[in-house]
Every structure is written in C-alpha cells, then in structure tokens.
Amino acid sequence: MSGKTLYDKLWEDHVVHTEDDGSSLIYIDRHLVHEVTSPQAFEGLRLAGRKPWRQARNLAVADHNVPTTDRDKGIADPVSRLQVETLEKNCAEFGITEFDMSDIRQGIVHVVGPEQGATLPGMTVVCGDSHTSTHGASGALAFGIGTSEVEHVLATQCLVQKKAKNMLIKVDGEVRPGVTAKDIVLAIIGKIGTAGGNGYTIEFAGSAIRALSMEGRMTVCNMAIEAGARAGLIGVDDVTIEYYRGRPLSPKGNDWFMAERMWQQLHSDPDAVFDKVVELNAADVKPQVTWGTSPELVVSVDASVPDPAQETDATKRESMKRALQYMDLKPGLAITDIKLDKVFIGSCTNSRIEDLRAAAVVAKGKKLADNIKLALVVPGSGLIKQQAEAEGLDKIFIEAGFEWRDPGCSMCLAMNADRLEPGERCASTSNRNFEGRQGYGGRTHLVSPAMAAAAAIAGHFVDVSTEANQGATA
Amino acid sequence: MRAFTKIDALVAPLDRANVDTDAIIPKQFLKSIRRAGFGPFLFDEWRYLDHGEPDMDCTNRPINPDFVLNKPEYKGAELLLTRENFGCGSSREHAPWALEDFGFRAIIAPSFADIFYNNCFKNGILPIVLDAGIVDDLFNELTEGYRLTVDLETQKIVTPSGREIAFEVDANRKFRLLNGLDDIALTLQHADQIHAYETERAKRAPWLFG
C-alpha cells in the first residue's frame, strides 16, 4: 500500500462520520470569524435557538470594513459601522472572543490567526473567507466556507465535506535575488490557471518552498484559492515549529513537547501518490506582473502584454480581449512601460513584517514618482505595525511619500474608504485583479511588495531582479 | 431551504469564462447584515451603467442594454448557461443569494469553483456540470424562448428537441436538495459521535480542548 499525503493524514485525523456516498462529517478545530460573512449565520443560530458548540474554538476580528486612518473617530460609513457593531454584539451574545478595532492584536483575520498561535499545525481551520487557505502554510487543513457553513460550524463544530483530490506542486532550485514567494505563486497560477486546482488540495513542496520563511509560505498558500484550490498545504519542518514556539495561544509546557512530536509527522510520506503533479524550476521564475482581470493573466516583468490573436482557444481569446479593454492596455506594450496611479502594499497575501521590510529596502532614501497619487502601506495587524515602527520602517515609508496606515483589508477589496477611482491603475500586493475589485472601474496589477515599492518610486513597473536594480533588493 | 425537484425553465446565456463572485455581487453589497434583497444588485457592474450602492432603489438606474440579463427575451429566466470556472474567487454566499433572489434555480457550466458550488446547494440552487462540448451545443442551439427541463430525481436535462442529457450529483447533496433539508439538524443527529470524537481527540491533542 502506498503512503499517505499530508492531506490524507489531516483528513483522516478529523473524520467524525462518513456517509455511503463518501461525504464525511469533519471536525473543525479552529473557526475564524469576521464581520462580513457572519451576521446572517449568527441570525440563523438565534432564529433556531442554537448555541455555539464550543465557544472557545471561535475567534473573531473585524477587518474588511475597518478604517485605516483616524480610528479614534470610529467608522464614518453607517452601513460599515453597523456591520462591525453587529459582529461585536453577536460575539458578546454568543460568548466568542473578539479583537476589536482598539485592540493591538486586531488585524486581517489570516494574519492574526498564525500570529496569535490561534491556528496551529495539524488543525482544521475554516473561516467565511476564501483566503483561509493561508493557514495551510503551517501544515493545517484550512479552507474558506460560505455563510451557511459558518452557521453550521458554530452550531456543530463540524462540516459536511467530500474529500478533494491530491495535487503536488514541486518547486525546486533557487530563486534569483528579487524573486519572492509572491512571484513563485503567481508563476504557478499562470502555469495551471485559475481553475487548475478546482477539486484539489494543493501541497506545495520542493527546495524553493522549503527555503521560504513562514511569511513566504503563507503568501504561497494564500493564493492557492486563486489557482482554484480551496486548500493549500506545506509540510511541517523546523521553520514551522520555531515559528509557533511561544505564540500566545501555542501549547505550553508538556503540551508543547507533545504537540511538537505530533507536528513532526505532518508531511507527506515519501511514497505517497498524488492525483496530479506539477513541477516548476525556481530559477526560471522572474518577478511577475498581472496584466488582466484574472490572476492567471500574468507575465514576467521583462515581457510584454500578450496578443489575444495568438490564442487558439476561442473562450480564452474573448476573455483576453475583454481584459485588455477593461485594463486599457494594448498587446505588445512592455510591462515596464505601464504607468501607475496608485500603489497598495498590504492584504492577507503580503502585509507581514517580512513584506514590509522588503518594500522598505526599496523605498529607503527615495521619493514617490510624481505620477503616483497615493501609495498606501497597510500592515496586517496592530502587532506588525508596532514591530515595523520599532524597526523604523514607518519612517522610511513616510519619508519616501507613502502613507502609513492602521491594519485591515483596506484596498485589497475596498470595502472601507481606501479604493481606486474609475480608470485608476494600481500596483498592488493583494491577491485579486478582478474587475472593480479595488474600486469601481479600477485597474489592478498584482505584484510582490518589492515590485510594488519599486513601481511607486519609478512611477512604472521596474524589474527588481536585474543587476541595475539589485541595490534596491539586497 | 427551498427544495429543488424539477423545473422547466427559460435559459439565459452568459457566455464568459471565470465569472468571479466579485462580478456576481460586488463588495459594497456585502455590508448588508441581511440574507435577502441581493437580486436587484446581481451582476451590478455589468447590468447598470452607474455605480451601485447598498439599499439603492434600482428601478430608475441606467441599465446596460448590451448585458444579456437586460434583454427582454431573457426576462424570467430561471436557468443560467455559462462557461468554465463559474463563481471563482471570494467565498461570499451573497453570490448564490443574489442569483436565487433574482430568480435563478439552476446553473449549467463545464465547471464551477469549489466554494461557490458548495454554497449553491445550501440555497436551493442546483449547479450542473456538463461536458464542455455539450455546453457548446446548448449555446449553439439557444434561440429566443429556449427552455430546458431539469429533473434532479432522475438527474436528467431534456432539450426542446427531446435530447436527454444526464448529469452527476453526489447522493448526499441530492437528498438534501430534493427535500430542502436543514443541514445543521441532520448533523446534530450525530451529536454523540461528535462528543466521542472530542473525547478521543482530547487525549491526543489536549491543547485544543484546554
């Protein structure tokens, strides 16, 4: 019998019951809650007279609607304010811990979870948010759910699921300087497409993945959903275990030793069989820039905007044409000739301390280009903000002309006041370049933090991996 | 949840691949704390020429005459025919809520994004996966007034020419949808097993139950 994949192991460890058709009741160890996808779930509990199955397994934080400036003045938009207040009320009524806007631990739910040790290796983690895949970086089975499932987890601590297939994405070799986790994952999405991972759980492996910090691994798993996979995974190693040592909610004392032993088993067996294997050579990956309205519409920074006429598939050709029209780009334009209006550094993909450091190195001692109207740096949590300020990163950004903001989802999806105006073009470290995502009529190019900072300084895209720009990325 | 058994429905074609949930229901409408009322804002950025905001009265908004759902011949359509990877992106259940509120009961596509697919079943919508070639056929033969019969019990679609097309659906999801059952009540029938699992797991991973 062949060995087990990490996904097989995590799945088997959480099965409570299996039906004849293979659908299973899966136990959920950690449920993260935010204000946007939970109000109707709490309302459902209330109407049915139900209580949370285990209050302590839930952790809530407001992130999507929160302002990133003038927090002391509250939330100006009454609709956003009501949603955030509703979360507070629901958490108080149902006995769920919430980090509110004034709490230093508040931040983007997928940044807060690992930072607090609220999401740990070996857990099943769910949240009413597709980027829950982020937590798979620690060897946890983590995936996004809808609001009906949020209610289901609250009421039963379980979900009815069918097991997905196993995909292995192996990235071996060494990346060139200036190439980051973001570039690796964008290159993967470019290769397999936004539907490539549908029906699969993706495990990322190989020497280039192993070489990443936990922050970088979270960036990779965060975007598994952009490749269509609900869950992304990376096996546990020393990097994982060291990351979790001493976190506020990590196991303590004897529990820690027990956990460590258990977590060390959290990797695929050498003879495990995957339904699909994709390989990528890290040395071939250059800094990536999306040019269209789907994350799969991505090229290397040294390339040009592709020509739909070269595409043989009719549906894809039409999508490309529509994307070019929306993005107001012409085939053949060099990516480095694309001029930007705004820059956004933040989101659950790239707002961790390492991301801010990478951007700060590029921005240090420089000034924003004249054509950049606004460049935002939005840390992923209050604690990251504090850490960055202790390192003096805030001063570097402010001196260069960036705005240094309070933590939240911000302009990744523009549910708060941070947004693009119609026609504005943005270099963004976020995860989705869909039409209107960052604001009605806005145009998004997805890039790494170093690439976003370099674009803010130059006013257009710059290849941070070339020799001429090397100083900027050392 | 409303049960789904059999429909004879007018079909609306949305000939685009990778339709994401941000397009189905833009982010500003997610600020609502209610579950109903999303229908008027379905595909808001494609359907209207102005920028929509929550609680807006949509009756006098300028509509985009080129958008398929604005064409009079598709008024009252309950079946959406579309291309691959429908519902990709965000997990927002507001997407099926908006589709359902607008009047759609079923969606046919060569593939769906996983979270969206799952969310449909929680809201009485039947997502049907058909071979890309068959979806092509349906797009090609669709003319004004084109209707399809969808029978969940027999897992069959019948076209106006009498062609029968079989589709797959998990037994468990089918049972729940046919009967409009409350998932939570069904799961709570396994409460003893959940407790037993917790007792056993607490021995192996006590830090999760402290």
What residue segments make up the domains of chain B, in order of their start?
6-179, 181-209
In the three-class reduction of DSSP (H, G, I as helix; E, B as strand; rest coil), residue A185 is classed as helix
Helix (H) or strand (E) segment spanning residue A24: strand A24-27
List Cα–Cα distances, B115 to A231, A251, A268, B103, in angstroms: 11, 31, 25, 21
- Does one domain contain both A143 and A268? yes
Which DSSP state fits A56? Answer: G
Give the CA dihedral B62, B67, B68, B72, nearest 10 degrees. Answer: 30
- Does one domain contain both A271 and A352? no
Is A283 domain-assigned? no
Is A474 domain-assigned? no
CB-CB neighbors (< 8 A) of B170 in chain A? 21-23, 162
Give yes or no for B142 touching A (CB within 8 A).
no
Residue B182: pLDDT band by 50, 70, 90 thresholds? confident
Domain end among A276, A303, A322: A276
Give yes or no for B172 touching A (CB within 8 A).
yes
Give yes or no for B166 touching A (CB within 8 A).
no
Percent of chain A with pLDDT over 70: 98
Q: What is the ipTM of this complex?
A: 0.95
CB within 8 Å: A436 and B90 = no
Q: What pLDDT was estimated at residue A437?
A: 97
Residue A474: pLDDT band by 50, 70, 90 thresholds? very low
Helix residue spans in A295-348 (DSSP H): 314-327
- Does one domain contain both A337 and A313? yes
Model confidence pLDDT, tens digit, residues A424-470 = 999 999 999 999 999 999 999 999 999 999 999 999 999 999 866 65
Residue A409 annotated as lining a ligand binding site: yes
CATH number of B6-179: 3.20.19.10
Give residue A7's Cα distance to chain centre. 20
Model confidence pLDDT, tens digit, residues A195-249 = 999 999 999 999 999 999 999 999 999 999 999 999 999 999 999 999 999 999 9
Give yes or no for B114 touching A (CB within 8 A).
yes
- Does one domain contain both A354 and A439? yes
Is A416 domain-assigned? yes
Domain end among A255, A276, A297: A276
Give dist(CA A151, CA A71) in Å, integer: 30
Q: Decide if A410 contacts A376 (C-beta within 8 A).
A: yes
Residue B210: pLDDT band by 50, 70, 90 thresholds? confident
- Does one domain contain both A431 and A361? yes
Residues pairing with A343 in the sheet: A375, A427
Residue A348 annotated as lining a ligand binding site: yes
**Which among A177, A200, A243 has a CA at the least distance from the CA of A471?**
A177
Domain end among A253, A276, A299: A276
Which DSSP state fits A85? Answer: H
- Tell me whether residue B161 is exposed, middle or buried, using C-beta atoms within 10 angstroms of its C-beta: 0 to 12, 13 to 18, 19 or more: exposed
Range of the domain at A349: 288-469
Does the pLDDT at position B91 exceed 80? yes
Model confidence pLDDT, tens digit, residues A228-237 = 999 999 999 9
- Does one domain contain both A230 and A298? no
Query: Which value, in Å, is the radius of gyration of the alpha carbons in chain B?
Result: 20
Helix residue spans in A237-352 (DSSP H): 238-244, 253-263, 314-327
Give the CA dihedral A323, B115, A180, A307, nearest 10 degrees. Answer: -20
Model confidence pLDDT, tens digit, residues B170-181 = 999 999 999 999
CB-CB neighbors (< 8 A) of A142 in chain B? none
**Which among A426, A461, A418 has a CA at the least distance from the CA of A443?**
A426
- Confidence (pTM): 0.97
CATH number for A450: 3.30.499.10
Check residues B55 and B115 and name the one with the higher pLDDT: B115
When the pLDDT of each residue in chain A is averaged and rounded to a whole number, the result is 97
Helix (H) or strand (E) segment spanning residue A83: helix A78-94
CA A474 to chain B, closest CA, distance in angstroms equals: 34
Percent of chain A with pLDDT over 90: 97
Q: Best of A28, A158, A293 to disrupt the B interface by mutation (most B CBs within 10 Å)? A: A158
Q: What sign does the CA torsion over A192, A197, A200, A204 have?
A: positive
CB-CB neighbors (< 8 A) of A50 in chain B? 184
Give yes or no for B2 touching A (CB within 8 A).
no
Give dist(CA A450, CA A466) in Å, integer: 13
Does the pLDDT at position A472 exceed 80? no
In the structure encoding, which two tokens stand for residue B21, read together? 């949930």
- Residues in CB range of A281: below 8 A, 6 or more apart: A171, A172, A173
When the pLDDT of each residue in chain B is averaged and rounded to a whole number, the result is 97
CA B189 to chain A, closest CA, distance in angstroms equals: 10
Percent of chain B with pLDDT over 90: 98
Question: Quick one: average pLDDT of B83-95?
Answer: 97
CB-CB neighbors (< 8 A) of A147 in chain B? 35, 93
Does the pLDDT at position A473 exceed 50? no
Does the pLDDT at position B24 exceed 90? yes
CA B35 to chain A, closest CA, distance in angstroms equals: 6
Give yes or no for B54 touching A (CB within 8 A).
yes
Model confidence pLDDT, tens digit, residues B119-148 = 999 999 999 999 999 999 999 999 999 999
Model confidence pLDDT, tens digit, residues A274-326 = 999 999 999 999 999 999 999 999 999 999 999 999 999 998 999 999 999 99
- Does one domain contain both A246 and A319? no
Is A205 domain-assigned? yes
Give dist(CA A433, CA A143) in Å, integer: 21
CB-CB neighbors (< 8 A) of A255 in chain B? 206-207, 210
Give dist(CA A281, CA A276) in Å, integer: 17
Residue A127 annotated as lining a ligand binding site: no
Question: Quick one: average pLDDT of B198-205?
Answer: 97
- Does one domain contain both A51 and A173? yes
Q: How many domains does chain A have?
A: 2
Q: What pLDDT was estimated at residue A121?
A: 98
